[in-house]
Amino acid sequence: MKTEDLLRGLAADTRTGPGLGSGLALALCAGLAGTALLFAATLAVRANFAALLLDPRILLKFAVTLSLAGAAAALALRLSRPGAAARPAARLLLVPLLVLAIGVGTELARTPERSWMPGLVGQYAVYCVLLIPLMAAPVLGAVLLALRRGAPGHPAWAGAAAGLLAGGLGAACYALHCTDDSPLFVLAWYGLAIGAVTLAGALLGRRLLAW
Amino acid sequence: MMLAAHAGDRSAYEQLLREIAPAVRVVVRRRFASFGMATHDAEDVVQDTLLAVHLKRQTWRTTDPLGPWLWTIARNKLVDHLRRRGRRVEVPIEDFAETLSAPEERPGADAADVERHLALLPEKQRAVLKAVAVDGASIGDTARHMGMTAGAVRVALHRAFAGLAARLRADD
């Protein structure tokens, strides 16, 4: 086919969709709706939740997971736009890490050493590691679908950012249910679960986000 | 101009693509030459880049400069192409160059990859693409001629381009 003809054809194709950012926002709504259904079907919000919201250890879980999701969303968008610098968005990932570091530091400073191990091991670590990826799955699917309209230079990295985003939101959702409140638990098990979702995102992204 | 294209101004968009094509062609040919490769299939990269520019135009924001966006896409497509070529067995063509180098009617305007994948598209998409692109028919005329609605023609055209891009990508 002549390039000339291709050009003419391309110009005639005037269908435009939403921008990448609004596409991602729509996908997040759809994914979170799926997660909410899953949550309602399998889990319940922990007892006395409203009263617990003043507890800094509970707030820490949401601060870490939601700031992670926000930073990952910015990063995923940057990685999906040709020519956009990803570094500033990658630096945003330091925010959740810093918040978590402060939480862990405070925990270590303020609680006796003998409570550290029980806090770290927690009661429901296995549930945590299984349920966070489950809660993250609808979001990951929707986000990857939205990012297929992007053009990442490194599809696996964009997929990993999508995984971080989904993992962060999945973990925030699980935190509504989770009764293991030690920041050490969050560091170990939330970290492991979010890492697994990120890995899944990278593997899927390598296939799905290539263009 | 990309702004006008975003706003649905077809002629401004076509003008933009017409300016992008030769710029990309010059750069890709230079790269091919610097790698010591014959430039005869540089046009494949040009067409692949134009397809990507078109299909991924939603990744460009009105506030971004167009240059870095365009050149990143072109570079990615060039790298893809080199990677694919690396896996193929290439018959050295230089020996035949003298017999092959008949003067081209429209220099550098033809490419093999898109043509090859075009043949594999679903019948209706191919017919719409041919009518609109090669014969230069309007959407409305094509719709009347093929007994389709204008909307269906638009959808078929868009799917044809998306399908072409997917086939080019899977071609390794």
Q: Is residue A74 part of a domain?
A: yes
CA nearest to A165, candidates A149, A142, A187, A192:
A142
The whole-angstrom separation of Cα A60 and Cα A66 is: 10
Q: What is the total residue count of chain A? A: 211
Closest by CA position to A140, among listed A194, A79, A86:
A194
CB A135 within 8 A of CB A174: yes
CB contacts of B73 in chain A (<8 Å) are: 82, 151
Q: In this predicted structure, what is the pLDDT of residue A175?
A: 95
* Domain that residue A65 falls in: 32-208
Q: What is the DSSP letter of A114?
A: G
Tokens standing for residue B52: 């990507």
Across B7-22, average pLDDT: 84
Residues 6+ apart with CB under 8 A from B25: B42, B43, B46, B108
Contact predicate A35/B143, CB 8 Å = no
Nearest chain B residue to A14 by CA distance is B8
The better pLDDT of the pair A64, B34 is held by A64
Supply the Cα-derived Rg of chain B in whole angstroms: 17
The token duo for B127 is 């017919």
Per-residue pLDDT for B163 more than 80?
yes
Residue B6: which pLDDT band, with cuts at 50, 70 and 90?
Answer: low
pLDDT at B31: 87
Instruction: Reply yes or no on whether the pLDDT at B105 is more than 60.
Output: no
Whether A53 is covered by a domain: the verdict is: yes
pLDDT score, position B135:
87
Give contacts of A11 with chain B, Cβ < 8 Å. 10-11, 13-14, 17
Share of chain B above pLDDT 70, in %: 80
Q: Which of A183, A149, A145 is nearest to A63 (CA)?
A: A183
Q: Residue B124: is its pLDDT beyond 50?
A: yes
Question: What is residue A38's predicted lDDT score, i.e. its pLDDT?
Answer: 95
Instruction: Mention every residue, 6+ apart, whose C-beta is less than 8 A from residue A185.
Output: A119, A120, A121, A122, A125, A128
Q: With an 8 Å Cβ cutoff, are B133 and A9 in contact? A: yes
Could B133 and A153 be called an inter-chain contact, meaning their C-beta atoms sit closer than 8 Å? Answer: no
The residues, ordered by sequence, that sit 6+ positions from A11 with a Cβ below 8 Å of its Cβ are: B10, B11, B13, B14, B17
The Cα B109–Cα B25 span in angstroms is: 10
Contact A182, A120 (CB under 8 A): yes
Instruction: Evaluate whether A82 touches B69 at the Cβ level (below 8 Å).
Output: yes
In tens digits, chain A (211 residues) has pLDDT values of: 788 888 888 988 887 778 899 999 999 999 999 999 999 999 999 888 888 888 999 999 999 999 999 999 999 999 999 999 999 999 999 999 999 999 999 999 999 999 999 999 999 999 999 999 999 999 999 999 999 999 999 999 999 999 999 999 999 999 999 999 999 999 999 999 999 999 999 999 999 999 8
Residue B62 burial (CB count, 10 A): 9
Q: Percent of chain B scored above 90 by pLDDT?
A: 28
**What ipTM is given for this predicted complex?**
0.83
The residue assigned the tokens 């035949």 is B96
State whether residue A207 sits within 8 Å of chain B by CB: no
Q: Could you tell me how many helices (H) and strands (E) chain B has, helices first?
A: 9, 0
Q: Is residue A19 situated within a structural domain? A: no
| Cβ contacts of B56 on chain A, cutoff 8 Å | 82, 149-151, 211
Going along chain B from its start, the domains and CATH numbers come out as 1-86 (1.10.1740.10), 111-172 (1.10.10.10)
Angstrom distance (rounded) from CA A196 to CA A70: 19
B15/chain A closest Cα distance in angstroms: 9
Cβ distance B58 to A1 less than 8 Å, yes or no, reads: no
Q: How many structural domains are present in chain A?
A: 1
- Closest CA in chain B for residue A3: B109
Does the residue A199 lie in any domain? Answer: yes
Mapped onto helix, strand or coil, the DSSP state of residue B110 is strand
**What residues of chain A lie within 8 A of the CB of B10, using their CB?**
11-12, 14
